[in-house]
């Protein structure tokens, strides 16, 4: 297959790189992405968007990763806007998508539970009560939960599995800060008898299709972001070893250094090809689950060790907080947890192949 970006994808990537390069301040970068219309790409025309799909959102996330921008692009685009656009009711889409696309509101998803990353059988459950549902459970690793206007919460119901839009300020919701590597907002969310109405659920709440769709967008977004993070770290390291001299020679001219930077290049190209292939299949309406699992495994397995090589080749400067490399390695660690880790992804892939 030829995965060369089409003209629209190339223009989106170029515009995203341009607006992100104007400032290193996350708030300004986020405002610039919104002002450029890059957060509105998946919205339909009647909501002020371009009606584009995940294959056009992916380049935005890749460019965010390439500069390791500390903005909520993954949460808002992959965990919020794409699922709501695909599965939301007309009322939900009209209420939440325009503010999110304008950079004025955050929508995120709670897809992990204790010892159960990206669980397909949620321990969080709903019980019918007074014409609605009371939802109880614990969600972990929820990005930007306290800042969000709604959290997409998978819920096990007697009739199947649904995904509810939960207000983090509703009665019965506790949002507690959690630690991560990058220092970006992340929380544990506890729900204790939270009232959720039928109107709060995304469409198709009985077959499990809604949760599968949210998971696919979450993985696709993580892959695109991780592709950019590894490519950005590689570029930063290649520049460093080309400019830094030792014994009167650039570091890049030493055979051992050249071999190590080549290993990072191979890892970057592997992750890139796997990510682009999986996103292409998802955007084309094909069965992409196996490709998403494969790509997520490579992301979780290869990127941490590749970033370790980047740090090694930088020497002491690589761990200096005034130098940007730590932003890449920290974000990669968090992203590895977001896809469940290499062992989890390999296990899921094995189950899928075994039927």
Instruction: Return the pLDDT at 21.
Output: 96
Domains of the chain plus CATH, in order, are 7-105 (1.10.540.10), 109-200 (2.40.110.10), 209-354 (1.20.140.10)
Q: How far is CA 175 from CA 104, 124, 135, 250, in A?
A: 21, 15, 15, 50
Instruction: Return the pLDDT at 270.
Output: 97
Instruction: Return the pLDDT at 303.
Output: 97
Instruction: Return the pLDDT at 115.
Output: 95
Instruction: Return the pLDDT at 57.
Output: 98
Task: Note down pLDDT in tens along the chain; length 355 residues.
Answer: 677 889 999 999 999 999 999 999 999 999 999 999 999 999 999 999 999 999 999 999 999 999 999 999 999 999 999 999 999 999 999 999 999 999 999 999 999 999 999 999 999 999 999 999 999 999 999 999 999 999 999 999 998 999 999 999 999 999 999 999 999 999 999 999 999 999 999 998 767 899 999 999 999 999 999 999 999 999 999 999 999 998 889 999 999 999 999 999 999 999 999 999 999 999 999 999 999 999 999 999 999 999 999 999 999 888 888 999 999 999 999 999 999 999 999 999 899 888 7
Instruction: Return the pLDDT at 53.
Output: 97
């Amino acid at each position: 297959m030829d995965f060369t970006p089409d003209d629209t994808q190339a223009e989106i990537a170029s515009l995203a790189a341009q607006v992100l390069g104007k400032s290193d301040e996350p708030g300004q970068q986020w405002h610039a992405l919104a002002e450029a219309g890059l957060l509105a790409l998946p919205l339909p025309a009647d909501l002020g968007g371009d009606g584009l799909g995940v294959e056009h959102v992916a380049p935005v996330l890749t460019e965010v990763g390439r500069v390791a921008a500390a903005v909520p692009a993954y949460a808002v685009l992959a965990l919020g806007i794409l699922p709501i656009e695909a599965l939301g009711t007309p009322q939900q889409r009209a209420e939440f998508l325009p503010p999110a696309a304008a950079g004025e509101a955050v929508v995120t998803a709670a897809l992990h539970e204790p010892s159960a990353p990206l669980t397909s059988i949620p321990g969080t459950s709903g019980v019918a009560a007074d014409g609605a549902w009371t939802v109880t459970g614990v969600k972990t690793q929820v990005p930007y939960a306290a800042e969000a206007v709604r959290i997409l919460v998978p819920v096990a119901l007697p009739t199947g599995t649904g995904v509810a839009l939960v207000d983090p300020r509703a009665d019965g919701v506790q949002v507690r800060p959690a630690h991560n590597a990058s220092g970006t907002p992340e929380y544990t969310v506890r729900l204790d008898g939270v009232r959720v109405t039928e109107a709060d659920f995304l469409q198709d709440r009985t077959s499990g299709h809604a949760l599968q769709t949210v998971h696919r967008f979450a993985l696709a977004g993580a892959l695109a972001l991780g592709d950019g993070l590894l490519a950005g770290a590689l570029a930063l390291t290649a520049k460093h070893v080309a400019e830094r001299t030792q014994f009167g020679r650039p570091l890049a001219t030493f055979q051992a250094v050249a071999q190590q930077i080549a290993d990072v290049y191979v890892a970057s190209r592997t992750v890139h090809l796997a990510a682009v292939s999986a996103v292409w299949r998802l955007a084309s309406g094909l069965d992409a689950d196996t490709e998403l699992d494969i790509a997520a495994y490579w992301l979780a397995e290869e990127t941490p060790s590749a970033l370790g090589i980047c740090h090694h080749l930088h020497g002491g400067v690589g761990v200096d907080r005034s130098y940007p490399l730590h932003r890449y390695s920290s974000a990669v660690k968090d992203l590895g947890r977001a896809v469940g880790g290499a062992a989890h992804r390999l296990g899921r892939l094995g189950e899928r192949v075994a039927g």
